[in-house]
Chains A and B, each alone.
Chain A
Amino acid sequence: MSEAAVLTADAHDGHAVSDVDRTESMSRGKLGMWLFLASEVMFFSGFIAAYIVLRMGGDPADFDSSILNWKLAFLNTVLLLTSSLTMVLAIFSIQRGDQKGLQLNLFFTILLGFGFLIIKSIEYGTKFLHHLTPTSSVFMSCYFVMTGFHGIHVLAGIIVLSFLLAWSMQGKYSATNYASIEITGLYWHLVDIVWIFLFPLLYLL
């Protein structure tokens, strides 16, 4: 790669780069997010491993998932999967300079995320009405902690996405400047992946 080619603005990953050290690797921002995602994976897998240990060693009757509403959780799964689609479509839009597409898809991602949280609240509400709290049983403790932390992650994602939507409406992003969108998208997809595992582990098995 010639010196001149390396020093010109590079549209890799949606932002112009001028430093010389440009290999085939991803941008620093994207790498940083991937490292953070790796720590998030360790965070959730710790809880999942603990749940497996407790469940394998305990009485199967204590871990009866029939007290959970799998139909609501299935709906939630569909909502999150759709939000992942709209997220990647938002990136696809801005890569082609489509501002309207970006804003619309960001909006739908936020909306679907909100839908997820609303259904989660309904689930928690009905649990509390039946006097099922995190201290009711080991299974309830696992359920509330895992879905609770996941819900907090969804909320954090919604907050960031709202800022992105506001900025996109001010015309901040373009086909050569969309790194924040892509990086936030990575986070959002991880939140979706975590739920992909939580749903069967808690509700179906």
Chain B
Amino acid sequence: MSDSHANDPAGNRIYWSVFYTLITLTVITVATSRIHFDNHAVNVAVAVLIAMSKATVVALFFMHLKTDGKADKWLYLTATFPLVLFMILTILLTPDVGMREHGKDFEKKTEVPGHH
């Protein structure tokens, strides 16, 4: 129930804890981004994972997902599936849209071996 916290005088303590966690995670994100790992993908993975944790924490506690009814939790689950699917489908366009030889004509694409 969304008004469960109203009965608990110290109920806003959770919000402050979440806030400090968010600030800490932000600082960690910045700190690790200054470290240049051999593989840039590590930087990307760390930053994205921390961002996803922060978003989850905001959604669970600030947006009260944790206290919502079971019926609603299925709603969010079903909504994230198309999101992930569409992002994957878009990123699959990388060879056709993203990759082109640096400095070459806009029309030209990198030669794909086996074609032509």
Q: Which residues of A contact B (CB under 8 A)?
A: 11-14, 23-26, 31, 34, 38, 41-42, 45-46, 48-50, 52-60, 62, 70, 74, 77-78, 81-82, 84-85, 87-89, 92, 95-96, 175, 182, 185-186, 189, 192-193, 196-197, 199-201, 204-205
Give A101 to B59 CA distance when docked, in angstroms: 23
Q: Once the chains bind, are A200 and B2 in contact (CB under 8 Å)?
A: no
Q: Once the chains bind, are A193 and B71 in contact (CB under 8 Å)?
A: no
> Taking A24-B71, A25-B69, A78-B23 as contacts, is the C-beta distance between A45 and B100 under 8 angstroms?
no
Q: Per a CB cutoff under 8 Å, which of A81, A92, A182 touches B22?
A: A81
Q: Once the chains bind, are A81 and B2 in contact (CB under 8 Å)?
A: no
Q: Once the chains bind, are B72 and A197 in contact (CB under 8 Å)?
A: no
Whole-angstrom distance between the Cβ of A49 and the nearest chain B Cβ: 4
Which chain B residue has the least Cβ–Cβ distance from A200? Answer: B47
Which chain A residue has the least Cβ–Cβ distance from B102? Answer: A59
Whole-angstrom distance between the Cβ of B34 and the nearest chain A Cβ: 8
> Taking A54-B98, A89-B12 as contacts, is the C-beta distance between A13 and B71 under 8 angstroms?
no
Give A127 to B82 CA distance when docked, in angstroms: 36
Q: Per a CB cutoff under 8 Å, which of B18, B51, B69 touches A200?
A: B51
Question: Within 8 Å of chain A (Cβ to Cβ): is B79?
Answer: yes
Give A170 to B8 CA distance when docked, in angstroms: 27
Q: Once the chains bind, are A84 and B87 in contact (CB under 8 Å)?
A: no
Q: Which residues of A contact B40 (CB under 8 A)?
A: 60, 205
Q: Once the chains bind, are A92 and B12 in contact (CB under 8 Å)?
A: yes
Q: Once the chains bind, are A85 and B43 in contact (CB under 8 Å)?
A: no
- The CB with the most chain B CB atoms within 10 A, among A14, A55, A87, A92, is that of A92
Give A60 to B50 CA distance when docked, in angstroms: 23
Q: Once the chains bind, are A12 and B83 in contact (CB under 8 Å)?
A: no
Q: Once the chains bind, are A46 and B79 in contact (CB under 8 Å)?
A: no
Q: Once the chains bind, are A200 and B48 in contact (CB under 8 Å)?
A: yes
13 new A-B contacts, CB < 8 A, other than A56-B94, A196-B51, are A13-B2, A24-B69, A34-B76, A45-B87, A49-B87, A52-B90, A53-B93, A59-B102, A62-B102, A85-B19, A193-B59, A200-B29, A200-B50
